[in-house]
Amino acid sequence: MIKLEGKSVFGGVAIGPAAIFRKTDTTVRRETIDDPEAEIVRYHEATEKAKDELQKLYEKALVEVGEDSAFLFQSHQMMLDDLDYVESVENIIRTQKTNAEYAVATTGDNMAEIFAMMDDAYMKERAADVKDVTNRVIGVLSGVSGSGMNASEPVILLADDLAPSETVQLDKSLVLSFVTRHGSTNSHTAILARTMNIPALIGVDYPEDCEGKMAIVDGAAGIIYIDPDEKLLAEYREKKNEEQKKAELLEQLKGQDNVTKDGTRINIYANIGGVADVASVLENDAGGIGLFRSEFLYLESEDYPTEDEQFNAYKKVAQMMAGKKVIIRTLDIGADKQVDYFDLDKEDNPALGYRAIRICLTRDDVFKTQLRAIYRASHYGTISIMFPMIISMDEVRRCKAMAELVRKELDVEGIPYGDVELGIMIETPAAVMISDELAKEVDFFSVGTNDLTQYTLAIDRQNPRLDDFYDPHHPAILKMLKMIVDNAHAGGAWAGICGELGADTTLTGEFLRMGYDELSVSPSMILKVRDAVRNTNLSA
Ligand code: PEP
Ligand code: MG
């Protein structure tokens, strides 16, 4: 048994096999091998494994999307048995004494080129299939699955680090816990772990040979045990049961009011990254969605999501929430959330760079497409829009002008839309200092304490070395929070907090005292915050 210590990102206990996330690196290197026949056997074994994967995908697709779409996976299986393909791979390995990865990649490239040159449109399209199936075999050969995670049962996922673009591809139903070597407690992987309500650790230097071994993660203590003995396993199974019992007690708060002992009410909403999170929002009885991080729709796509694709996602969320408020934050990429097809330049200081509203205000096409999709969806529920990273009145006016232009266009086209509140995130010190003026321009403020702490304390939220300095309880932040809510109310706007601090139950009483109208937290934290509200007495 080995015991490794790291830093806790989210509490809880997870027990299961360890799996190492490997970056999807499709660059294939040519290597000379001594035993071509053994390499050919390795190639055939990988092909069989790839076919098994495809069979599972076929069966899943058959249930979820029907025969026509599922057929694709069968055709991929057939391609792997194609005699020309197999002979080409074997020939390259035998005659050139190269590794199987190289032989498969070369064969795939050649075949794809032949298909691409054909006149027939259908055959042309097969080039992409050959590439896809080739990448799958290379993935198996090099131990890298499509999503970077090789698992068919729930696992404790160990990774060097996870970028938001990688986490969106994970099959989350198979992740029991995240454990990373790098990353910071304020990163988006940490936020994801909280949303999923699973234990997570950072700063753990795990050995490479722990793949497949049994492991226990103690999220609160910041410990992972690999290969635990039976005694420890039994102890942690018991701990997990106790956690389950506590969760059941919180369950009793479902359907109850968010009201203090002396009668002060507050809205408790949820933060989400996409349609899939709505189930846990409903499950945990949130009053609405206070932050829909819409950039995850862009991170999940290979290209700019179209107006219709976005409309369908926003409409679905609005309909599932059945009239409860859904606050959609417009695109907030840049900094740690990089999207390849935006082709953003590398920057020396990305957190202070071209991100969020700065991109939208210089990319009318992107901004207008998103606003049209949101307005169209607003006809199907109660939707509000909020703009991130605001620093000036001018930016707010430009955002509002674009929203007005979109409404006018929809009027002309006869497309209906609802009554949409417009708000801004207060996450820069500049916005705090002019919040008296900003409040008169918008319907609401939502404080992004993650970025506000980063910019106020001059601490990169992504830098793990600074975790101990990153103090969201710093008096500067608490004073700002009071100033923001006072200015909001004086200017006729309501105010909420959607950064991670909103879920800090040691401050719930303080937020209520300050006069906040709403706290938006990870779905897993809703009932805990409700419990804290109901145990507060402001007149005591
Ligand atoms: C924040 O900055 O507090 C926030 C809610 O936004 P994000 O974490 O997505 O930057
Ligand atoms: Mg932010």
The residues that are catalytic are 188, 498
The answer, yes or no, to whether residue 142 has pLDDT greater than 90, is no
Tokens standing for 343?
């082709």
- Cα 30 to its chain centre, rounded Å, is 35
Cβ 450 under 6 angstroms from ligand 1: yes
Say whether pLDDT at 146 is over 60.
Answer: no
515: exposed, middle or buried (Cβ count in 10 Å: 0-12, 13-18, 19+): middle
The model's confidence at residue 448, banded by pLDDT at 50, 70 and 90, is: very high
Mean pLDDT of 157-167: 82
- Does the CB atom of residue 295 touch ligand 1 within 6 A? no
Supply the pLDDT for residue 60: 67
Q: Which of 185, 297, 498 for mutating ligand 1's site (highest number of atoms within 8 Å of CB)?
A: 498
Nearest ligand 1 atom to the CA of 498 is: 5
Ligand 1 site-directed mutation target among 293, 337, 390, 497, most atoms within 8 Å of CB? 293
CA of 496 relative to ligand 2 center, distance in Å:
14
Q: Across the strands, what pairs with 326? A: 289, 383
Question: 451 C-alpha vs ligand 1 centroid, how far in Å?
Answer: 6
Work out the mean pLDDT of the chain and round it to a whole number.
91
pLDDT band at 130 (very low <50, low <70, confident <90, very high): confident
> What ligand 1 atom has the least distance to the C-alpha of 271?
5
Mean per-residue pLDDT, 425-445: 98
Ligand number nearest CA of 188 is 1
Measured over all CA atoms, what is the biggest interatomic distance in the chain, rounded to whole angstroms?
85
Please give the distance, rounded to the nearest whole angstrom, from the Cα atom of residue 346 to the centre of ligand 2.
20
Closest C-alpha to ligand 1, atom 4: 448
Instruction: Kindly tell me if the per-residue pLDDT of 64 is higher than 70.
Output: no
User: What is the DSSP secondary-structure string of 361-418?
Assistant: TT-HHHHHHHHHHHHHHGGGSEEEEEESS---HHHHHHHHHHHHHHHHHHHHHT----
Q: How far is the CA of 178 from the centre of ligand 2 (A)?
A: 22
Tens digit of each residue's pLDDT (9 = 90 or more) over 484-503? 999 999 999 999 999 999 99
pLDDT for res 471: 93
How distant, in Å, are the alpha carbons of 389, 519, 534 from that of 426? Answer: 7, 14, 27
Q: Give residue 150's pLDDT.
A: 67
Q: Which has more pLDDT, 152 or 384?
A: 384
pLDDT at 63 over 90: no
Residue pair 382/326 in contact (Cβ under 8 Å)? The answer is yes
* pTM score of the predicted model: 0.74
- The predicted pLDDT at position 25 comes to 60
Residue whose CA is closest, atom 3 of ligand 1? Answer: 448
Confirm if 443 and 423 have CB atoms less than 8 A apart.
yes
Confidence band of 24 (pLDDT split at 50, 70, 90) = low
Is residue 525 scored above 90 in pLDDT?
yes
Contacts of residue 309, Cβ cutoff 8 Å, sequence gap at least 6: 297, 301
Ligand 1 probe mutation, 451, 457, 462, most atoms within 8 A of CB: 451
At 296-331, the pLDDT tens digits run 999 988 899 999 999 999 999 999 999 999 999 999
Least confident of 157-161, 191-195, 290-294: 191-195
Residue nearest to atom 1 of ligand 1 (CA): 448
* Structure tokens, 324: 């409860």
Is the Cβ atom of 427 under 6 angstroms away from ligand 1?
yes
> Is 80 exceeded by the pLDDT of residue 114?
yes
Using a 6 Å cutoff on CB, does residue 448 contact ligand 1?
yes
449 Cβ below 6 A of ligand 1: yes
Helix (H) or strand (E) holding 84: helix 83-96
Give the pLDDT confidence score for residue 536 in this predicted structure. 98
Nearest to 168 by CA among 186, 200, 191: 191
Q: How far is the CA of 78 from the centre of ligand 1 (A)?
A: 46
Per-residue pLDDT at 335: 83
| Residue 330 or residue 146, greater confidence | 330
Starting from the CA of residue 191, give the closest ligand: 1
Q: Which-ligand-closest: CA of 194?
A: 1
User: Which pLDDT does position 40 carry in this prediction?
Assistant: 96
Q: Could you tell me whether strands 421-426 and 444-447 are parallel, antiparallel, or unpaired per DSSP bridges?
A: parallel
Residue bearing the CA closest to ligand 1, atom 10: 451
Q: Which ligand is nearest to the CA of 164?
A: 1
In this structure, what is the dihedral angle of CA atoms 264, 269, 271, 275, given to the nearest 10 degrees?
A: 180
Lowest pLDDT segment from 58-72, 239-253, 522-536? 58-72
- Whether 522 is in the pocket of ligand 1, judged by its Cβ within 6 Å, is no
* pLDDT tens string 383-414: 999 999 999 999 999 999 999 999 999 999 99
**pLDDT number for residue 263:** 97
Ligand 1 atom nearest residue 500's Cα: 3
